[in-house]
Structure 1
Amino acid sequence: MLGSLLFIVGILAALIGLGISIALHECGHLYFAKKFGLRVPQYMIGFGPTVWSKHRGETEYGVKLLPLGGYISMIGMYPPKPGQHAGEQATGFFSRMIEDGRQASAESIPEGEEHRAFYRLPVWKRLFIMAGGPAMNFVLAAIIFAFLGMVIGVYQPTTRVAEVYECVVPASERNNPDAATSCDDKAPGAQAGLKPGDVVTAVDGVAVDSWDGLQATIRESADTPLEFTIDRAGQTMTLTVTPRANEVYVTDPATGRILEDEQGNPKTQTVGFVGFTPQHERAQQGIDFVGEMYWQNLSGVYNVITTMPQRVVEMFQAGFLGAERDPYGPMSVVGVGRVTGEIVAQDAIPVLDRVATVIQIVGSLNVMLGAMNLIPLPPLDGGHIAATLWDGLRRWFAKLRGKPEPEPFDAAKLLPVTMVVAILLMAIGALFIFTDLVNPIQLFK
């Protein structure tokens, strides 16, 4: 009963974190829009029917039924078509769509408020307005990561021994039951008398204070005797350990994920091997931890974007054909909520660790929201930024040539692209949600 309750609490925590992130994203747009005098009729969190709203000044603030995003409406998003005559009718589906967009934009401008239309603003102001949303997500993520690393702290491997292996087992033989049970080749650490709880303080008289340094020394010293100075329950001892050459998996230093070659096989390398695992302890980090988390998350977002066709195929296979899910693959908001619920429901995990994980997930969500919205395709913020930059480039080039300033870029012409991209995003989102419902990623089996 308690586990189910905690699972629900975890899901709610993820949804609340996502909701706050979306709300602050829209606040980023709203702040600059208001600052530059742009009229904003609506600020809404979610889509669909309005659940609650309240007017404050000229803006309606509200929440809609489907918490899958948010928006602010701004008057005069599209300029009128140059040279268009009253009563002129557009022909063709896309032409009518473009004209309907222009008409809706014109109708959104109250009489006497023409100077407050979006398209009339200087290029730099439009850029600030459209970039304000992603910028808010990036700032929020930086605050979250700084709090996580500098206040709560994160687990780091230490030079304290957690477990000592009895055998030397090559990576290619790890799944072989016979290799796991037979121990003809005793691991160097066990052979030398290394025990759990020992703290390695020096190697060959050189002090070591980090796992990375100790591991690097071991890996470079295959078949070379090393003198380990250890602290065992307060007593200083020395052990002579000779690392053995052994085949190990190549892992991503940020995530610990086993890397694969072009054929999809796990990568391996032959290095010096002693046969013990480090104990992990929580430690406060410096401000550089924020940069590390940004790099890790942005790399993940970039990987998802550049491999999206492959990801869609994998999600279709997992959702409709029962294929195994990639535990490191993308998830929908449903998948994020479920994973968060599973983590919070684990009684075996200390409360602080569960809280820290939820906080990290919210930080990663903000990096993802900010980065995805900068993709230069409408209706994403990046699409509006690209259109504004093109408008500014046209004006700069005209000025450079001594020509009159051109009419504002007719962004309404991008409405067909907006429709196609929106349909694709909704289809991909629906596929991801469906897959997360019928074949979710399970961290704890």
Structure 2
Amino acid sequence: MTILLTVIGIALFAVGLLFSIAWHELGHLSTAKLFGIRVPQYMVGFGPTLFSRRKGETEYGIKAIPMGGYIRMIGMFPPGDDGKLEARSTSPWRGMIEDARTAAYEELQPGDEKRLFYTRKPWKRVIVMFAGPFMNLVLAVAIFMGVAMTFGFATQTTEVAGVQKCVIAQSEERDTCAADDPVSPAHAAGLKEGDKIVAFDGAPVHDWDTLSSRIRDTIGPAAITVERDGRQQVLEATLLENLVAKKDADGEVVSGEFVKAGYLGFAAKTEILPLTFTESFDRMGDMMENGVEAVVAIPSKVPDLWNAAFNDGERKDDSPVGVVGAARISGEVLNLDVPAQNIVATFLMLLAGFNLSLFLFNMLPLLPLDGGHIAGALWESVRRQVARVFRRPDPGPFDVAKLMPVAYVVAGIFICFTLLVLVADIVNPVKIS
């Protein structure tokens, strides 16, 4: 049964991956057609074609390797300096440029002169190239908001899950009381498991973040209003100063860092609770911020990945994961011993995270990524605006094809990194609990 569920999980992820890719390319396709650019091909996957059908002027199909997708647009690059496709050169760098330019015109037909990608205004080209990653962002936001508002996330509440008997600095790696440890304020005040704290020093509290902040800001006497057995009662506590985990501006615990603050001495109960629209939107913003930080941090992860892949090093939880690793995680999700709704929510969040990664990764201003073409169109717009201001001749379209040698280098780096992640995902995968 475990193997069967794993296979089903991997298959479901493959379907989600194909849909995400198709959704991405649909953004490019729809906007290209909107602006009159001819698109001969719309393909999901790479390699040999498994299925295709021509509708109108576009061939739609699925290829064997579900590792990406593409649409072919006529005239992605402008002609050479002489206005024509340049003759082949013996220079390898020039050859790369001419190969790219030739591919952009190899399906040119009569009447296409006015339907070339490079002839469109820069803002239109930006829209066409941005539309693909934007579709992934829309899908990620829709999935995330849907899960957050219907299912929810594990959230600390103001209900008491347990009471500490003594005061122990959170930096100390022990959970048993010593003879000289002071009694915890919560235990001395009579706080019990199952109590729900509804007010602190007379001020109502409805969430853990508010309660936690007020406890940390208080050293000395405080009135704790709790709801117990359907009735409210006030407990008098004297909060002590203790070394507690540091929190950042978002209220998240900073691992390994501690500060002195007020201490009551109880554990908050955690429940899975749906979020409001505003809370979900804020949490989505945090997810995007974390995603940006993860993309920026990718180069720093390479040594750990190498050690995990070839030196039997530890594979950290925040290690980059490729398609194979994500598929393995998806298979593990279906084997979790949790309610079915938890499995569905976890799988959807995995798909949302994948789409957010596609958006962020494709927005890098590097060829051959979408962000590289966007950067080229924006640079062309700046050049033309500067020429207009200084009354200089129009410099014409920016020849992105001249950056293809750089694109090949970038693609080579990406391929090497992808292979490294693939090896790590196979021999030392990230696992979920």
Q: Shorter-chain TM-score category?
A: over 0.9
Instruction: Select 1:440's aligned residue among 423, 429, 433.
Output: 429
Query: Following the alignment from structure 1 to structure 2, what is the Cα–Cα distance between the partners of residues 325 and 335?
Result: 12
Query: Following the alignment from structure 1 to structure 2, what is the Cα–Cα distance between the partners of residues 337 and 245?
Result: 47
Match of residue 30 from structure 1 = 29
Q: TM-score, normalised by structure 2?
A: 0.93
Deviates more, 1:365-374 or 1:203-212: 203-212
Match of residue 374 from structure 2 = 385
Residues 24-103 of structure 1 aligned to structure 2 (within 5 Å): 24-83=23-82, 88-103=87-102
Deviates more, 1:233-242 or 1:180-189: 180-189
Sequence identity of aligned pairs in percent? 40
Query: Please, which runs of 5 or more residues in structure 2 have no aligned partner?
Result: none
The CA RMSD over aligned residues, in Å, is 2.2
Query: Following the alignment from structure 1 to structure 2, what is the Cα–Cα distance between the partners of residues 100 and 4?
Result: 46
Q: 1:84 to 1:25 in 2, by over 3 A?
A: closer
Specify the code of the residue in structure 1 equivalent to 2:353: S
Is 1:408 matched with 2:404? Answer: no
Query: Following the alignment from structure 1 to structure 2, what is the Cα–Cα distance between the partners of residues 57 and 255?
Result: 55
Residues 264-283 of structure 1 aligned to structure 2 (within 5 Å): 266-283=256-273
SS in 2 for 1:242: strand
Instruction: Select 2:214's aligned residue among 209, 217, 237.
Output: 217
Residues 41 and 71, structure 2, Cα contact 8 Å, conserved in 1: yes
Specify the code of the residue in structure 2 equivalent to 1:187: S
Match of residue 284 from structure 2 = 294
Deviates more, 1:97-106 or 1:8-17: 8-17
Is 1:15 matched with 2:11? Answer: no
Deviates more, 1:103-112 or 1:125-134: 103-112
State the Cα deviation string for residues 6-33 of structure 1 (Å, max 9, x = none).
3333333333222222111111101101
Residues 295 and 360, structure 2, Cα contact 8 Å, conserved in 1: no
Residues 298 and 368, structure 1, Cα contact 8 Å, conserved in 2: no
Is 1:205 matched with 2:202? Answer: yes
What is the deviation of 1:129? 0.6
Q: TM-score, normalised by structure 1?
A: 0.90
Query: Following the alignment from structure 1 to structure 2, what is the Cα–Cα distance between the partners of residues 100 and 58?
Result: 24
State the Cα deviation string for residues 73-132 of structure 1 (Å, max 9, x = none).
111111111126788442311111112222222223123312111111121211111010
Match of residue 262 from structure 1 = none
State the Cα deviation string for residues 221-250 of structure 1 (Å, max 9, x = none).
13x122212111213232222223222223
Deviates more, 1:69-78 or 1:327-336: 327-336
Query: Following the alignment from structure 1 to structure 2, what is the Cα–Cα distance between the partners of residues 87 and 318?
Result: 47
Query: Following the alignment from structure 2 to structure 1, what is the Cα–Cα distance between the partners of residues 90 and 63?
Result: 35
What is the deviation of 1:356? 1.6
Match of residue 195 from structure 1 = 192
Query: Following the alignment from structure 1 to structure 2, what is the Cα–Cα distance between the partners of residues 163 and 375?
Result: 47
SS in 1 for 2:261: strand
Specify the code of the residue in structure 1 equivalent to 2:135: M
Q: 1:182 to 1:354 in 2, by over 3 A?
A: farther
Residues 245 and 271, structure 1, Cα contact 8 Å, conserved in 2: yes
Q: 1:87 to 1:201 in 2, by over 3 A?
A: closer
Residues 159 and 278, structure 1, Cα contact 8 Å, conserved in 2: yes
SS in 1 for 2:358: helix
Q: 1:86 to 1:24 in 2, by over 3 A?
A: closer
**Alignment size in residue pairs:** 432
Specify the code of the residue in structure 1 equivalent to 2:383: R
Match of residue 412 from structure 2 = 423
